[in-house]
Structure 1
Amino acid sequence: MRRGSVAQRLGRGAVVGLIVVVAAFPLYWLLISSLKPSTRLGEVALIPSSVTLENYAAAFDTQIPRWMLNTFGIALLTTLLGVAVAALAGFGFARYRFRGRSVLFGMVLASLAIPEYALVLPQFTIMRQFGLLNTWAAVILPLAANALVLFLLRQYFSQLPEELFDAARLDGSGEFRLFWTIAVPLVRPGLGAAGLLLFLNAWNAYLLPLVMLTNSDQFTMPIGLAFLHSQLNFGIVEQSPWGAITAGTVISIVPLILCLLVMQRQFIGSLTAGAVKA
């Protein structure tokens, strides 16, 4: 039995190691490509023959620093607004009984089945009517309305015992005070998971910023990197921008990796806890 258990652990370790290698290899290839001279980007070698930072210098000579700032600003504001709206809505769906509650919540869940590209046209029309095109608001407002985040927080608020709120009401607490001083502190792990989901979604968003933003000064990183490549295709630049693109891609994913490493335990634990009660 002991030999069998050791063999099983080794087998599981080998499988996990293989999965890690397969998942991490694209990131490794991107990193070493960003360190190669631009003339050797097509070189097939696990270890580059020469290492240089010229691609990173080329990246900072473009609008990449500006695009990074735009991406961070949009992702941060989307997270703050999205968490605030979803927390209030989730608390309402979880703690109050009102006519049409089940229908409204069913519509929220049904919206998860609608593909993103089917929503872009109505979102574009609404933002154009409000004169918000080519602004951060045109991207932030649609991204902040996230049905999955609302569902997650609703599950958290549903698990809170009703006795806590009844006791607070007897002490004279108002409804907003119940939300802010009792409910919010008890669901902080869920708020962290919701914030991380919103931040990652906004950081990696491509289709919505592509439609809403037309000025290159307003681009986010995904749109900006595609824009650099399009300049070569349309003959706007003569020199290949792939060196700057690979370096810019590495720069853009570093904040996401750090964020996931710092919050992975809280994120996984909060998702598990929030899924216990329907």
Structure 2
Amino acid sequence: MSNITVMPDRSAGTPATPAGRERRRQRRPRKPINTQFRTAVSPHQLNTTRGRIIYWIVLVIVVVSFTAAFVFPLYWMVTGAMKSTEELNAIPPTFLPSHFSLDGYLEAWDLLGLGTLLGNTALYAGGAWLLTLAVDVSAAYALSKLRPALGKVVLALMLSTLMIPPMVIMLPAYLTVKEVPIFGWNLLNTPWAIWLPAAANGFNVFLLKRFFDSIPRELLEAAEIDGASPGRILWSVVIPISRPILGVVSILTVVNVWRDFVWPLLVLPDSDKMSVSIGIASLSSQMPQNVLVASLVIASIPTIVVFFLFQRHIMAGLTAGSLKG
């Protein structure tokens, strides 16, 4: 008969069973958890009554201060046009007009011919917007989905233009518009002098390409199986789901053309074809100060309207395509 040696249990009386091992683990002293917060105020302090009061006071002060810093210049401009020239130049300044009057706005509209200037600028901005969408969307779609030969080289050359200061290429661009290579056309005093440079925007192509890269390839392949051509896929599939980024490109294009000053001053010397920024600057020395301020308010209204129309697409379009899931 063989001798069987039974090893004693080390648990000091606790049977060597799963329940016993669990009880041994529970008896072991646990190390204290050292919770560290990398913030100026810990969440425990914020949960107190004093912490909540301080938090809301700081939040309100910061929000009100930043809002006032951005809104106050607009408020000063709008109310300044309602004052007389003497009240506008008074020291100390008055925050409210002594007599609310819209005469400054009416004089600005009549004396500066803002109707013609705004019409010209709307023509330039609208044409630049349409041509930009046609050219940049097609280029971005080709680089993203069609992937032609040397596509990466073309994209790199487009992005390299963003590293060049605009003033450096001002003279070559002017000479190109004055006499278009090969064709020999003179585009000065024509809307094409504004439209063509606006459409040649590498930043817009980059934004659109990043968004198109996030579109699933399977979606386009399903359209190809149904017999859709690349142009049909772009028009019926890609553009409808690209509204956020198209809104961003639209607002950037319209605002850039509307507020541009140096380039329209070079290529639109005719007074009948001036944009609103050039027209106001050319007549500013002959106008009373309150009328000048009123003209600036009227000229800024269209860009504000465009912003409110496309504001919900701005953040959605800028962040679209940054993550793929």
TM-score of the superposed pair, with normalisation by structure 1: 0.91
Q: CA 1:140–1:178 in structure 2 vs 1: closer, same or farther (change >3 Å)? A: same
Instruction: For 1:142-157, list aligned pairs within 5 A.
Output: 142-157=197-212
**Residue aligning to 1:32:** 79
**Residue aligning to 1:174:** 229
Contact 1:190 1:274 in 2 (8 A): no
**Residue aligning to 2:275:** 220
Matched, 1:57 2:106: yes
Bigger shift: residues 4-13 or 138-147: 4-13
Contact 1:213 1:219 in 2 (8 A): yes
Matched, 1:134 2:179: no
Contact 1:149 1:194 in 2 (8 A): yes
Contact 1:37 1:52 in 2 (8 A): no
Q: Deviations over 1:59-117 (max 9, x none)?
A: 12222211111111111111111012111111111112333211111111111122222
**Residue aligning to 1:162:** 217
Between structure 1 and structure 2, the one with the greater Rg is 2
Matched, 1:204 2:256: no
**Residue aligning to 1:249:** 296
Letter paired with 1:152: L
Q: Deviations over 1:16-71 (max 9, x none)?
A: 21011011111111111111123433122111222322221221222221111111
Q: Secondary structure at the match of 2:131?
A: helix
Cα distance in 2 between the residues matched to 1:262 and 1:183: 22
* Greater RCO, CA 8 A, separation 6+: 1
Cα distance in 2 between the residues matched to 1:70 and 1:261: 22
1:220 Cα offset (Å) = 0.9
Letter paired with 1:103: V
Cα distance in 1 between the residues matched to 2:86 and 2:264: 32
Cα distance in 2 between the residues matched to 1:124 and 1:241: 34
TM-score of the superposed pair, with normalisation by structure 2: 0.78
Q: Secondary structure at the match of 1:187?
A: helix
Candidates 56, 69, 74, aligned match of 1:22:
69
Contact 2:143 2:209 in 1 (8 A): yes
Contact 2:213 2:321 in 1 (8 A): no
1:6 Cα offset (Å) = 4.6
User: For structure 2, which runs of at least 5 residues remain unmatched after alignment?
Assistant: 1-46, 180-184
**Residue aligning to 1:82:** 132
Q: Structure 1 segments of 4 or more deviating over 3 A?
A: 274-277
Cα distance in 2 between the residues matched to 1:170 and 1:6: 62
**Residue aligning to 2:182:** none
Contact 1:193 1:267 in 2 (8 A): yes
1:213 Cα offset (Å) = 0.8
Of Structure 1 and Structure 2, which has the larger fraction of its residues in helix?
Answer: 1
Cα distance in 2 between the residues matched to 1:222 and 1:16: 32
